[in-house]
Structure 1
Amino acid sequence: MTLAADVDRIAAESDFAGVVRVDRAGSTELSAAYGLADRRHGIPLTPDSQVAIASGSKGMTALAVMSLVEDGTLSLGTTARSLLGSDLPLIADDVTVEHLLAHTSGIGDYLDEDDDVPISAYAMTVPVQHLATTEQFLAVLDGFPTAFRAGEKFFYCNGGFVVLALLAERASGVPFHDLVRQRVCAPAGLVDTDFLRSDALPGRAALGYVEMDGEWRTNVFHLPVLGTGDGGIYTTGADVHRFWTALFAGAIVRPETVAQMVRPRSTAPYDDRRYGLGFWVHPTRDVVQLEGYDAGVSFLSNHDPAEGLTVTVVGTTAEAAWPLAKALQAQLID
């Protein structure tokens, strides 16, 4: 069975709605889309649809921060407190940029994924339309006590990457979204990647969906109207491939910085994957991953720099991507 036929079968069996792409050694082996970008109007997804990748954005946040480290605006040892001032007083004084990038900061998380909160819940504590700038996230970041001492262990922390966006913005004097555009998207040639407002999506952007009360509803009330450091960027399958190619070519940050970021520093307590600075790493191989999961979003992209292999699956529901992503990872990566 060909790769395309196998993907068609799994997509049909799992009722997949999303985009899948496989690139190897400069050639695109598969680029396909399934399901609807807009279920109300019956608009189909295409391989060129812009899709949200949730926490897949964390790699781009990390790169924007590390580009500031390269030019001396920040350092890995810069403390959060030195830029926060009196804001977020419960963040310990010794928490550094490196701790935040590595998910070892120990800060309390505004969106703790270990909580037994269903993905369909309205999790934001302020109206989502009030979360359009990074500074506005101070209202949801505050009030969470330290969970453990900085550097003590790995614990995935969404709030840590919002704090990183805030530190990068304050240190550089450039709004965070512009930092990502200027320091990541532009040098990587990402023509279809951007932070998009959920209440003003352009025509090629796919809506994310949450099943509630037996019907599919868009995720517009579940997530901030405009994402920030921990997630919310939209992209395409082609741009994800461009991103990985540019990253390992040294087009975004220097190759030695890339090596530092993808060097495993911790092992996740709940699976056998490892983590660097903004990137997941395969349990046993030098394969780098970005992953995203949220209301109306599921995303996994694996990149093997040695083989020039990229495997990307993006779904427009929280569960859509996983059957296909796991099957392709087992077949092409593991």
Structure 2
Amino acid sequence: MGYSQMRWRKACVGLAAAAMLVLPASAGSAYGGATLAPSLSASSSTDTEFPELSPAVAARLDKAIRQVMREAKVPGVIVALSAPGKGSYIRTFGVADKATGAPMEPDLNMRIGSETKTFTVTALLELVDEGKVGLDDPIAKYIDGVPNGDRITLRDLAEMRSGLFNYTMDEGFFKALTSDPRRPFTPQELLDFSFKHPVQFQPGEKFDYCNTNLILLGLVVEKAGGMPLHDFIEQNVVKPAGLRHTLFPTGAEFPSPHAHGYTNQTASGKVEDSTDWNPSWGWAAGAMISDLQDLRSWARTLATGTLLTPETQAQRLKTEPTTIPGAHYGLGIFNVQGWIGHNGSLPGYESLTIYLPEAQATLVVLLNTDILHDQAEPSTLFGQAITRIVTPEHVFNLPVQASRPKS
């Protein structure tokens, strides 16, 4: 889910000691500024809980974001915050390419890591609505050879309660990926890394964030949907949602314009440019690409369930407690202190796309590093700093749980 119980596992979730660029107060790109958005109906309580995004509030946000950038040594970040009747705050800070100094821009394509899970599970739930799969079907009905497959249901997989071993935690996987991060992986290769380990617990016993779950759900979507996962998501999720710059790559392709990504998740431990690394190892759990405007739209679509029946969306949002204080997880979606959505991370990139129903507020954060700062995800640091200002009763926070492979 991007919060990472180990560093690589977060990616199919989201510091360089050198080459940081912190812009002076006048240099942040004010794309859209603090402009008023069209008003939508909102409860009276929203007026007291979410502030108008005035120039004064925008200045506080600018200062907080720059402070996170400075302390966490983040090269560049894109932020969008809005709520009906309260205005819009859209800013870019820092650089998209440390070599050239090219600035971050609001239209850059970015790798979104584990936010991919929200698309994969949406595809699965569409098939549920069509009667082609059942959430309480065992995974063995669709995929052979899954440990405990006759007991693990699709619901267990989507809720991160399967008990399967997370392939991104396997040492062999870590060595294979870091030794050649441009190599392609097949879904079966990823499952093989997982299935050589015993199950960790019986299905439903507890929450354990696991990318293996999503690889299996991606295969179910392919089987029940009758086409490759990337095609199904494009035709049945991306297009119906009206997203124009969101794609599921089949290799290392990365449409321009895009930001360069920087990571220390390397064989040497040194910071490298990971822009052209192949995200196939994340597949249904973390391979997708999107941009700011699409994610602003997707935040609302995901949280309000416009692609699903109300009954299925209600099941999706029935979240359960996790091992993280203040965080609950549903069907491929989390609720952190009232903010609904997902984060993502993979080498060089992190993202956060969340929606607060009470205020109908949307927050999207995109950045071009995944390097931890004091064992904290930079995306979480931005989310926390921003929500402390605008929703102090709903402060976003996802503490890191351990130390390596992420997704």
TM range (shorter): 0.7 to 0.9
Q: Does 1:251 align with 2:306?
A: yes
Structure 2 residue aligned with 1:147:
200
- Distance in 2 separating the partners of 1:203 and 1:326: 30
Structure 2 residue aligned with 1:44:
103
- Distance in 1 separating the partners of 2:154 and 2:237: 18
Aligned in 2, Cα 1:302/1:184: closer, same or farther, shift over 3 Å? same
**Residues 102, 154 of structure 1: 8 Å contact kept:** yes
**Residues 109, 291 of structure 2: 8 Å contact kept:** yes
TM-score normalised to the size of structure 1? 0.86
Structure 1, residues 140-185: CA drift from partner, whole Å, max 9, x if none?
4431210000111111111111111112112222111112112211
Structure 1 residue aligned with 2:345:
293
Matched residue count: 323
Question: Structure 2 stretches of 5 or more lacking a match?
Answer: 1-54, 373-377, 395-407
Determine which of 380, 385, 388 is the counterpart of 1:322: 380
**Residues 230, 249 of structure 2: 8 Å contact kept:** no
- Distance in 1 separating the partners of 2:178 and 2:135: 31
Aligned in 2, Cα 1:199/1:293: closer, same or farther, shift over 3 Å? closer
**Stretch deviating more after TM superposition (23-32 or 212-221):** 212-221
User: What is the one-letter code of the residue matched to 2:313?
Assistant: V
- Distance in 2 separating the partners of 1:144 and 1:260: 31
- Give, in angstroms, the shift of residue 130 of structure 1: 4.6
Q: Output aligned runs, 1:236-315, within 5 Å.
A: 236-248=291-303, 250-264=305-319, 266-283=320-337, 285=338, 287-315=339-367
Structure 1, residues 7-47: CA drift from partner, whole Å, max 9, x if none?
32233332341210002117751111222223233332211
SS in 2 for 1:311: strand
- Identity, in percent, stands at 26
Determine which of 272, 275, 279 is the counterpart of 1:217: 272
User: What is the one-letter code of the residue matched to 2:348?
Assistant: G
- Distance in 1 separating the partners of 2:226 and 2:183: 22
Aligned in 2, Cα 1:315/1:197: closer, same or farther, shift over 3 Å? farther
TM-score normalised to the size of structure 2? 0.72
- Give, in angstroms, the shift of residue 279 of structure 1: 0.7
**Residues 252, 279 of structure 2: 8 Å contact kept:** no
Structure 2 residue aligned with 1:55:
114
- Distance in 2 separating the partners of 1:214 and 1:128: 13
SS in 2 for 1:111: helix
- Distance in 2 separating the partners of 1:27 and 1:228: 37
